[in-house]
Amino acid sequence: MKFRDKFQRFMQGRYGTDDLGKFTIYAGMIFCILSLFTRNGIINILATIFLVISYVRMFSRKIYKRHAENQKYLAMKNKVVHALHLERLGQMKYYCFFKCPTCKQTVRVPRGKGKIKIHCPKCHTDFIKKS
Ligand SMILES: [Zn+2]
């Protein structure tokens, strides 16, 4: 039997990778690389923990449990993305973000329109910006 077939048979009924799996592998690799440059024992331990978690989950047969963990991870990730306004990074290409000078509300306008008058939806102040 080829290694590939053996591996496929071994993986049958096992969980495999998901978003959380990818995250733990990347985190583990990053801590691994960091531990090459520092003598910090904690980084070493973190690298080991993340890699062990990623392997344990990948070969796990408790698929529902792993799936639930992944859902939790995705919900948490969404919260972080939202809290840090990271979704804006994806919009940066098409939009400019300005703060209203009066109420500090962030206003989104299309990029590349030149000098435009922006109307704040919250306090209805108008201000001029270059987009
Ligand atoms: Zn305002």
Q: Using CA atoms in the order 83, 75, 34, 15, what is the torsion angle rounded to 10 degrees? A: -170
Ligand 1 centroid from CA 108, angstroms: 12
pTM of the entire predicted model: 0.66
pLDDT of residue 7: 87
Ligand 1 centroid from CA 83, angstroms: 21
pLDDT in tens, the chain (131 residues): 788 899 888 888 999 999 999 999 999 999 999 999 987 889 999 999 999 999 999 999 999 999 999 999 999 999 998 888 888 888 888 999 999 999 999 999 999 999 999 999 999 999 999 98
Local structure of residue 61 (DSSP, 8 states): S
The rounded radius of gyration (Å) of the Cα atoms in the chain is: 23
Q: Classify burial at 97, counting beta carbons within 10 Å of its beta carbon; exposed 0-12, middle 13-18, buried 19 or more.
A: middle
pLDDT of residue 122: 94
Going 69 to 71 to 77 to 79, the CA torsion angle's sign is negative
Ligand 1 centroid from CA 99, angstroms: 8
pLDDT of residue 90: 82
